[in-house]
Structure 1
Amino acid sequence: MKKPLFSAGQRLLCALIGGSLLWQWPGAVPAAAAAAATQAGAEQSDPAAAEGKPPRNEFALAGIEVTASKETVGRGYVASRSTAGTKTDTPLSDTPQSISIITRRQMDSRSAVNLKQALEYNAGITPGTDSRWNGSMVRGFDVARRADGLQLVNSNFALWDFEVYGLEQAAVLRGPASTLYGSSAPGGMFDLVTKRPTAEQLREIQIQGGTDNYRSLALDLGGQVQGQDKLTFRLTGLTRDHDLPHDYSSFERSFIAPSLAWKLAGNTNITLQAHYLKDKLNGSDEYISIYHPGSTLFGHSGRLFLGEPGYSGYQREQYYYGYFLDHQVNDTFSLHQKFRYGKTSTAYNMLWWSLANDGRTVIRDGRLKVYDDTATSYQLDTYGESKWASGAVSHHAIFGIDYRHGNLKNRSGYGGTMANIDIYDVNYSHAWTLPATAPDYQGKVIQTGIYAQDQISFGPKWTATLNGRQDWYEQNGINPQTGAKTRIDQSAFTGRAGLVYHATGELSPYLSYAESFEPQSGQDRLGNQFVPTTGRQYELGIHYEPHNLNARFTASLFDLRQQNVLTPDPVNTNFSIQTGEIAAKGLELEATMAAFKDLQLTASFTILNNKVTKDTQAANIGKRTAGVAKHTAALWLGTAGDQNRPGWNSGFGVRYIGSRENTGNTISLDNVWLADAAAGYNTGDWQYKLNIRNVFDTFHEIAGFNSTTTYQGEGRTFLLTATCRW
């Protein structure tokens, strides 16, 4: 790395002139030469100018050149481009669908340690309620989670998870996404962009400690391989452990992800990557049960652990490896291929209990349940990309084939022996006998999709996006114990059409229609195979990216419906028919900004009406999805601080969660305001930060799944982070 050419005073003066996002160039030129070079090569050096937007502001001062840019890819607080919505490097303002990018800078500002915390300040998000797989909903529906655009196969409890420290950013694509990615839930997609090799030297070590004996040590290294100008690398790793709120419960994680990028030739690049993650959850998950009147445990502490230390828990071990290959054929054509092979396996020991008639004896004997699930799979996504123009119309098109294959194995057992306990005089350390396990499912999944997309720019202000995809899905399985076979053989065509009008260089309203599908197993009472459940969405929105601010504002109105939902067959309720529908209508507002010197802002507001609109049982019509609030809002306001300059920084956030219902809508959860705060100090190489979640230790319930029990949300926690970069 070259030694800085300018004094601290000069750098400070540049910062005062250029605002919060200015960089100095290593090679300074006289002012006149700088102006001439800028005029001659504006479109080549400035992506904003190439997109027809005003060029970046440039200054020449005291023999130096300073450039202000809206974004530095992968490092800024505000992102303006993404591949998640189109599979091409596209400005978000050209994407006819609501999309949010949570950058690494945003995650670090709030010290997010899991995906739930990373997403909770964004619009339309219902945070997950289980720490084992960080599941969250968007617009009241489940979503698919993909890493770098690829999704591996799950099997029962063998579910993939991803470490937030290993991410560069997370994209939230709201609404159906099957036209590019295949089968997925109608809520949309989380595309988790992993950390990649970097040509710039990167050295980081991070130490964390906090509430509940939270301890974490992480390492992030990257740069050019010594003596090899065509090789760059990245190595990210972490180890973490902490206690959970339930008695006798804790969580441990180990994670490592190496990657290597190789520039094979002037127009060919390949990135090799691997990932390994191991989790061990002892006891119960992180949420505390709240027992309501009518529950057999009403009045007892929700922290009470009714399992057995050493037996109850969940373990996951997963790994994958693969590559990304990009080849530029010429100025018009390029080829891309992504491949990933992975395996995830889990061991889950749970205990079903009941309270005896005496009101104090917890019956556990013969109620042990053991799961042992494995999913091995690979995915290959290959597509060509082309750009061409015909008169005043330009095209940016892709055509590809996506293939996914998975092998699934599930074992389980129920029974075993374990002593009962007295709820008023709890005594653990009992011996137990595990139930015998046997394979209860073996299956194979194959999904093949052919897709095409064309982004068409016509006239000075219009951009249209047209998508189409045909998928074929097969899943063949057998229960080795009974010989019973199951088969899913379904196909689906999904489409998307969107239109963006660039009213000004800053304001871009859009209109879109999108579809999704999910394979559905089973058959009706007449023996007919079910068809896939489908999703369809109409959306009207606005992108606003002011030229003079490093900011992005969005608004969207949507009507999203999931159809072909299973409902009880009125002729024979032991069977189902596909006449159900769940609808979500709403408004989402979101703002992300890093301007006015060091100020950073993330804000969102959501109105969401998510409910059952069609069902064979009239009592279900109008019921809301469990845990989904009708109104949510969030605001985070902080200062960034300069790592190279000693000084303080701070942040404060508020989150509002409106009233929610439990499953069946028999319990209403009160609305709640939560506050978060952060304070940090930079000393050059070292950065120190204290984050406090739920500053006022506000009691709140986050979800409920039956008529007697809900789960208490996170209380006040402290997290101290020390990060050294050199």
Structure 2
Amino acid sequence: MQFNLSFLAFSVLAIMATASHAQSESDLEQPSGNQLPTITTQAETDEKPYVAKTASAVLRSDAALFETAQSISVITNQQIEQKQAKTVAEALDGVAGVTSGQYGRRGWDDFIIRGQISSSQTYIDGLRVQASDNVLRAEDISGLESIEVVKGPTSVGFGLALPGGLVNLTTKRPQAETSYKGALSYGSYGLKEATFDMNYAPNESAKGAFRVVGRVSDQDDPTDYVYFKNQYIAPSYNFDLGDKDDLSVIASYQHRKYIRQQGIPYSKGDYKNYSSSLFFGEPDYGYDVDVYRIGANYAHYFDNDWTFKQNLAVTKTDTKGNAILASGTNILPTIKRAINNQDKQDINYTLDNHLQRNFDFGKLNYDVMVGVDMMRERSDYYRRTDTINDFNANDPSYGNVSIKKIGAPSQEITYSQYAGLYLRNTIKIDDHWIIGLSGRHDWTQVEIDNVLKNTATKNSDNAFTGSASVMYGMNDMFAPYISYSTSFMPVTDAGENGTLLNPEEGKQAEVGIKLQAFEQRLQGYVAYYDLTRKNVTESDASGNFSIQTGEQVTQGFEAEMAAALTEQWNVAATYSYIPTAKITESVTASEMGKRSNHIPKNASSLSTQYYFSPDQFGWNIGAGIRYQGSRTAQRNTDFVYLPSYALFDVNAGYEAKTWGAGLSIKNLFDKEYLVGTTPNAQLVNWGDPMMVRFNVKFKY
């Protein structure tokens, strides 16, 4: 399969021509009530909803979550603010079925969904951000309106994907009301942050409106010499093309400079004898990351009730780093070290086009969507690992780096591309039965060029994935369902003979019930799932090539609820029980039956926020608890036991019409705990100690 940027250019030109033609037809009718609204025409109010009723970006429609036979969690902007989350990983903490930040504060968004590592499955406004395995990304949270977490296989809607699920970040876009907002934050470990959000709507309409969001932050880490600096800006504009067309464009730039926190060697439990603030790297040996993104959303409403939508984005990421890491197995107090020199240059093009229409036949309602999407990514990755002098944990010393051995460099350029054709059918019968039938066929190609060895490896595949579901709406409060879905994921790993391995495959059966109450201000679900991932790739013991170890199985229960019980009282609760998360087939006999890394059997969270006034002005208070059951992490002979922990959070604030102030304390009792390990299970990572954050905000 071959395609290139000429298709993107042609599509954009065609859409602009259509838009220009539609603008001249000012006497056309308004879109039908059955048409799907675009994100550019949503009005903003000062009272942002605490509970989401839809997940329009990942569903590509305004279908209600209550009528969707799939487990989807939506973290609204109000919930993000209540959590005082500064990263996507923090915002995901406590979501049912999700483990976040399992590799510590290394400066990347790490998360596991339903027992499967899903960090590379981040989407922005419904488009994949990156396909390569070495993600090295952390999206800025200040530019987000909400976070949508889809659990289970998603290939039928998004093509190549691992079966655990995905995280979609919806960005802030121009709104119909002019407003100017800003906030200043100060907190533990030198946190200093300023954000602004300016929306200008000259006609008191979202059409023709302009918005710009920005953030500057600087924070040290509880680990000595570790810091995170971030700058972000995102302007967006809605064109006024008349009643039949919507066009929104958004651009963003993010710069990050940081030193990763990477814990301390487990060393048969000897880590307990050392401070959690111990840093075995070197000051100023870290990462510089620049991310440039531009995207556009277009919609055209035809007279015959069809809707055409196009969504495209181009993302360029430049990453340079020379982090100092632990090398091999270490017995404290001696830590062997190496400099991991990295230069990663990525550019990603994504495009989605689809047509949708709703047919109302009285007792039968039929919604159909047909679309084609595609992606092309070029990833140029240079690496060289140099061995340096050891570190003595009993006598820390910095600034005396000496190279013992210069490593052999490697540089690979990976081209990943796919095109997919999908069809989605939703049939609603007699306002009770909802039947979903979806199918998709993908054509993929992966090419890896070894620059230094002057070799190339290429592999082309195609795959069909599908999903089927049946839901019964018992009443306005309960809707049980059953679903089955499949997935596939091409790999960039080469086997012993140098050829690329087969794609991974996945499948999931799920049965559950959707819940809603209090005039839809309560949304939730309870579900049981049985998920299987096949053709899983791992490095061979020699480290020279990859192998496909076979099969992993995850089975579990989830329960989740978010509710605005009254105008003054919000509550959210989640519970996950994963009794089975293990390797069921492997070429390595010792791997059989092992539990997947970092997956607790039990995890739960409960949070609440109370406003002393029905209009939510004046004082408010909140509290929460997050529980994580015990976990294990292992690789080869390395085994780490991670004890369970419970963390308490509290917050209080005051809201006036033009200003507000808030104070939050995370990990109120300053509990010391292990959040996870490094991927090789040789280092343990301490979780966040008590964090105090104070903020003031202004709004006009």
| Of 257-266 and 217-226, the range deviating more from structure 2 | 217-226
What's the offset of the Cα at 1:618? 3.1
The residue identity in structure 2 corresponding to 1:508 is: A
Residue 588 of structure 1 is matched in structure 2 by: 558
Q: Are 2:108 and 1:138 aligned?
A: no
Whether the aligned pair in 2 keeps the contact of 1:147 and 1:194 (CA below 8 Å) is yes
Find the aligned partners of 1:497 and 1:264 in 2 and give their Cα distance.
38
1:448 partnered with 2:419: yes
Match of 1:676 in 2: 649
Go from structure 1 to structure 2 and tell me whether the alpha carbon gap of 1:431 and 1:586 turns closer, same or farther (over 3 Å shift): closer
Indicate the SS of the match to 1:663: strand
Residue 59 of structure 2 is aligned to residue 82 of structure 1: no
Q: Partners in 1 of 2:332 and 2:166 — Cα distance? A: 46
Counterpart of 1:601?
571
Q: State the alpha-carbon separation in 1 of the partners of residues 329 and 574 from structure 2.
A: 48
8 Å contact kept, 1:567–1:615: no
For residue 21 of structure 2, what is the aligned residue in structure 1?
none
Deviations 1:344-390, CA, capped at 9 Å, x for gaps: 011121234569999766665xx433010011121111111111134
Q: 1:640 to 1:429 in 2, by over 3 A?
A: same
Which amino acid is 2:573 matched to? A
Q: Tell me the residue number matched to 2:40.
A: none
Aligned to 2:601: 630
Which amino acid in 2 is paired with 1:450?
L
In structure 2, the residue matched to 1:688 is 661
Q: 1:173 aligns with which of 131, 150, 171?
A: 150
Would the alpha carbon gap of residues 680 and 294 (structure 1) be closer, same or farther in structure 2, given more than 3 Å must change? closer
Corresponding residue SS for 1:667: strand
CA contact under 8 A between 1:636 and 1:651: conserved in structure 2?
A: yes
Give, in angstroms, the shift of residue 480 of structure 1: 1.5
Task: Name the stretch that deviates more: 643-652 or 122-131.
Answer: 643-652
Among residues 320, 342, 351, which one is paired with 1:347 in the alignment? 320
Say if 2:617 and 2:654, in contact at 8 Å, map to a contact too: yes
Q: What does residue range 487-636 of structure 1 map to in structure 2 within 5 Å? A: 487-522=458-493, 530-548=501-519, 550-566=521-537, 578=548, 580-608=550-578, 609-636=580-607
Q: Matches of 1:346 and 1:524 in 2, distance apart? A: 27
Residue 301 (1) aligns with residue 278 (2):
no
Q: CA deviation at 1:437?
A: 9.0
Q: 1:460 aligns to what?
A: 431
Shift, 1:252, TM fit: 0.1
Q: Alignment partner for residue 239 of structure 1, among 197, 206, 216?
A: 216
**SS across alignment from 1:212:** helix
The one of 375, 380, 385 equivalent to 2:356 is 385
1:518 CA displacement? 0.8
Aligned to 2:693: 719
Q: Distance in 2 between matches of 1:221 and 1:567?
A: 47
Q: Is residue 2:309 matched to residue 1:336?
A: yes
Q: Calculate the TM-score normalised by the size of structure 1.
A: 0.84
Of stretches 678-687 and 198-207 in structure 1, the one that deviates more from structure 2 is 678-687
Deviation, structure 1 residue 678: 0.5
3-state SS in 1 of match to 2:142: helix
Counterpart residue identity of residue 314, structure 2: Y
Q: Secondary structure at the match of 1:265?
A: coil
Aligned equivalent of 1:106: 79
Paired residues in the alignment total 654
Kindly indicate whether the alpha-carbon contact (under 8 Å) linking 2:330 and 2:336 is maintained by their aligned counterparts in 1. no
Identity %: 28
Partner of 1:209: 186
* Structure-2 separation of matches of 1:524 and 1:81: 43
Judge conservation of contact 2:569–2:608 (CA < 8 Å) in 1.
Answer: yes
Q: Distance in 2 between matches of 1:431 and 1:574?
A: 29
Alignment-derived partner of residue 242 in structure 2: 265
Residue in structure 2 matched with residue 38 of structure 1 by the alignment:
none
Q: What is the one-letter code of the residue matched to 1:600? A: N
Larger radius of gyration: 1
Aligned counterparts of 1:369 and 1:208: Cα–Cα separation in 2: 34
Q: CA deviation at 1:526?
A: 7.2
Residues 683-717 of structure 1 deviation map (CA, whole Å, 9 limit, x = unaligned): 33111111111111112112134565321111111
CA distance in 2, matches of 1:567, 1:239: 39
- Report the Cα offset of residue 601 of structure 1: 0.5
**Local SS of the residue matching 2:184:** strand
Distance 1:687 1:279 in 2: 28
Evaluate the alpha carbon distance shift between residue 135 and residue 574 of structure 1 in structure 2; reply closer, same or farther with a 3 A threshold: closer
After superposing the two structures, state which structure 1 stretch, 270-279 or 498-507, moved more. 498-507
- The 2-side partners of 1:599 and 1:219 are apart by 28
- Farther off after superposition, 350-359 or 164-173: 350-359
Q: Offset of 1:423 from its aligned partner?
A: 4.3
SS of the counterpart of 1:378?
strand
Residue number among 96, 121, 129 corresponding to 2:94 in the alignment: 121
Cα distance in 2 for partners of 1:549, 1:152 equals 32
Contact 1:638 1:651 in 2 (8 A): yes
1:40 is matched with none
Q: CA deviation at 1:668?
A: 2.1
2:70 to 85, 90, 97: 97
Q: Structure 1 CA distance, aligned partners of 2:46 and 2:463? A: 36
Per-residue deviation, 1:519: 0.5
Cα distance in 2 for partners of 1:527, 1:261 equals 49
Deviation at 1:543, TM superposition (A): 0.9
Partner of 1:428: 398
Partner of 2:195: 218
SS in 1 for 2:156: helix
Deviation of residue 156 (structure 1)?
A: 5.6
Q: Which of 710, 723, 726 is equivalent to 2:684? A: 710
RMSD over equivalenced CA pairs, Å: 3.2
* Counterparts of 1:354 and 1:528, CA distance in 2: 29
Structure 2 match to 1:192:
169
Return the offset for 1:566. Answer: 3.9
Structure 2 residues not aligned, in runs of 5+: 1-29, 36-43
Find the aligned partners of 1:211 and 1:259 in 2 and give their Cα distance.
33
- Quick one: distance in 2 between partners of 1:415 and 1:80? 52
What SS does the aligned partner of 2:625 have? strand
The answer to whether the Cα contact below 8 Å between 2:206 and 2:238 also exists between their aligned partners in 1 is no
* Shift in alpha-carbon separation, 1:567–1:161, aligned structure 2, 3 A: closer
Residues in 2 aligned to 1:193 and 1:327: alpha-carbon distance in whole angstroms: 21
Secondary structure of 2:173's counterpart equals coil
Do 1:626 and 1:660's aligned partners in 2 also have CA atoms closer than 8 Å?
yes
Partner SS, residue 118 of structure 1? helix
1:375 aligns with 2:352: no
Q: Secondary structure at the match of 1:666?
A: strand
Deviation string for 1:648-680 (max 9, x for gaps)? 110010111111001248332221111111111
Q: How far apart are the structure 1 equivalents of 2:559 and 2:150?
A: 15
Which deviates more from structure 2 when the two are superposed, residues 194-203 or residues 477-486? 477-486
Matched to 2:266, the amino acid is Y
Cα 1:686/1:599, change in 2 over 3 Å:
same
Distance 2:538 2:689 in 1: 38
Among residues 618, 621, 626, which one is paired with 1:647 in the alignment? 618
Q: Deviations over 1:454-484 (max 9, x none)?
A: 1111223111111111111111121121112
